[in-house]
């Protein structure tokens, strides 16, 4: 029903029944629920011949607001925005998982959601969806305790509002989707403590996204590279995480008998050979890994997050020489940073409304 209503400028119950093949009474049940949620509105079709004018149903997106929450090891950030991404209200506060119980943390989240709901209502908008991004470091196996696996169900039960959850790297994809709405198949890569990969297929995050991320980290990018605990050689994670990039740099500095290290950006700015060689090596393996995952999943957009500029530029140039990129079938973009709380709100917006709208 959503795709029929949100993809039109107005559609009647009879037309919905005809398009969907459902009984009019079944359609009416869906319509009443969407009206109750405030996601759609009624409008008159105007007089057509004799009798009462037909009632049409269309999106109420102009009156909708969405909430985003991100929970990191040191921060709880929150945001309310429109389906287009315009911020209504946002903020952040310190968060220490070591000193917070699950009950206290959930209460804090619910309090922020209630605050944002009131902020949205003050502008005449309805809070229609909640997106929660939880750092991987707060969930097993990286965390000893599993405190947040059921947070989506708890928040939805307590608020009565559709709630969605993901990791921050997956949530970041909705920021990009909001920029290029027609693109529904994409990845984003961030070389953090581990090589983080977010993937979107068909406009949503696949259920096995973490398994895909793990497989990406273990793509062989150096045939005769160092052995990996997975049993293979030359896996990407040994070259593209922050620690790995630093280790490569230290090895290159030793070749030139240099003991002093600079910020990576500063070393590249001065064109110090060891830094330039490191950027070249990392960009080469990144391009190899990206090329392979694009081949496997038929991706249309590749995005690099918080990758040093020289590395990202070199990676993009290498990718653009490959056939599938050279023919402009795949777009490449780089982002210095992304507001993940806003991205989490956009995740809810797309899952509730955006994925059903006509592009």
Q: What percent of the chain has pLDDT over 70?
A: 93
pLDDT band of 49, cuts 50, 70, 90: low
CA distance 164 to 158: 14
Mind listing the pLDDT tens digit for each residue in 123-159?
999 999 999 999 988 887 767 677 788 999 999 999 9
Binned at pLDDT 50, 70 and 90, residue 322 comes out as: confident
pLDDT in tens, 175-210: 999 998 888 899 999 998 899 999 999 988 999 999
Mean pLDDT score, 50-71: 84
Q: How many CA atoms lie within 13 A of 348 on its CB side?
A: 33
CB neighbours of 109 closer than 8 A, spacing ≥ 6? Answer: 69, 71, 76, 132, 151, 155
Question: At residue 349, does pLDDT exceed 80?
Answer: yes
In this prediction, residue 47 has a pLDDT band, given cuts at 50, 70 and 90, of low
Q: pLDDT higher for 18 or 266?
A: 266
For residues 53-62, give the mean pLDDT.
Answer: 81
> What span, in angstroms and rounded, lies between the C-alpha atoms of 254 and 197?
31
d(CA 68, CA 127): 11
pLDDT at position 142? 67
Q: What is the pTM of this model?
A: 0.86
Residue closest to 129 by CA, chosen among 344, 347, 348: 348
Q: How confident is the model at residue 259 (pLDDT cuts 50, 70, 90)?
A: confident
Q: 319 near 291, Cβ under 8 Å?
A: yes
Instruction: Give the tens place of pLDDT for each residue, 265-286.
Output: 899 999 999 999 999 999 999 9
Of the chain, the percentage scoring pLDDT greater than 90 comes to 59
The pLDDT of residue 108: 95
Residue (of 337, 339, 346) closest to 131 by Cα position: 346
Question: Which of 358, 356, 342 has its CA nearest to residue 175?
Answer: 342
* Interval 236-252: pLDDT, tens: 999 999 999 999 999 99
Distances in whole angstroms, Cα of residue 258 to Cα of each of 244, 247, 248, 337: 19, 14, 14, 31
Predicted confidence (pLDDT) at residue 2 exceeds the cutoff of 80: no
Mean of pLDDT over the chain:
89
Q: Once rounded to an integer, what is the mean pLDDT over residues 104-122?
A: 96
User: What backbone torsions phi and psi does residue 235 show, to the nearest 5 degrees?
Assistant: -70, 145
What radius of gyration, in Å, describes the C-alpha atoms of the chain? 24
75 DSSP β-pair partners: 94
Q: Is 305 exposed, middle or buried (0-12, 13-18, 19+ CB in 10 A)?
A: buried
Nearest Cα residue to 191 out of 293, 267, 73, 305: 305
Alpha-helical regions (H) of the chain: 2-6, 13-20, 24-37, 102-121, 151-159, 168-179, 209-217, 237-240, 242-255, 264-269, 273-297, 309-320, 323-326, 340-352
Domains, the chain, with CATH or none:
2-59 (1.10.10.10), 63-166 (3.30.420.40), 186-335 (3.30.420.40)
- Please tell me the distance from the alpha carbon of residue 64 to that of residue 240, in angstroms, as a whole number: 40
Residue 358 has pLDDT above 60, yes or no: no
């Amino acid at each position: 029903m959503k795709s029929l209503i949100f993809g039109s400028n107005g559609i009647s119950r009879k037309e919905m029944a005809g398009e969907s093949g459902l009984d009019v009474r079944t359609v009416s049940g869906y319509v009443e629920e969407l009206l109750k949620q405030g996601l759609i509105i009624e409008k008159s079709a105007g007089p057509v011949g004799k009798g009462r004018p037909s009632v049409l149903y269309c999106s109420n997106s102009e009156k909708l607001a969405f909430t985003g929450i991100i929970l990191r090891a040191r921060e709880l950030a929150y945001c309310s925005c429109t389906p287009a991404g315009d911020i209504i209200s946002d903020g952040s506060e310190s968060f220490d998982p070591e000193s917070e119980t699950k009950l206290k943390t959930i209460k804090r989240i619910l309090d922020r959601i209630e605050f944002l709901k009131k902020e949205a209502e003050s502008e005449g908008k309805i809070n229609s969806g909640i997106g929660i991004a939880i750092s991987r470091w707060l969930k097993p196996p990286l965390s000893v305790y599993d405190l947040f696996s059921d947070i989506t169900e708890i928040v939805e039960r307590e608020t009565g509002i559709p709630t969605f959850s993901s990791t921050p790297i997956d949530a970041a994809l909705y920021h990009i989707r909001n920029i290029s709405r027609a693109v529904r198949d994409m990845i984003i890569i961030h070389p953090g403590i581990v090589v983080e990969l977010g993937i979107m297929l068909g406009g949503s995050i696949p259920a096995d996204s973490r398994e895909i991320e793990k497989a990406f980290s273990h793509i062989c990018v150096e045939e005769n590279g160092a052995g990996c605990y997975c049993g293979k050689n030359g896996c990407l994670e040994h070259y593209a995480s922050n620690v790995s990039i630093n280790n490569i740099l230290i090895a290159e500095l030793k070749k030139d008998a240099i003991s002093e290290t600079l910020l990576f950006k500063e070393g590249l700015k001065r064109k110090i050979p060891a830094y330039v060689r490191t950027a070249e090596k990392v960009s080469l393996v990144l391009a190899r890994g990206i090329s392979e995952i694009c081949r496997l999943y038929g991706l249309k957009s590749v995005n690099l997050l918080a990758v040093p500029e020289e590395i990202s530029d070199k990676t993009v140039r290498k990718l653009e020489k490959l056939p599938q990129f050279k023919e402009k079938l795949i777009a490449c973009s780089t982002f210095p940073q992304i507001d993940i709380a806003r991205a989490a709100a956009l995740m809810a917006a797309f899952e509730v409304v955006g994925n059903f709208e006509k592009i």
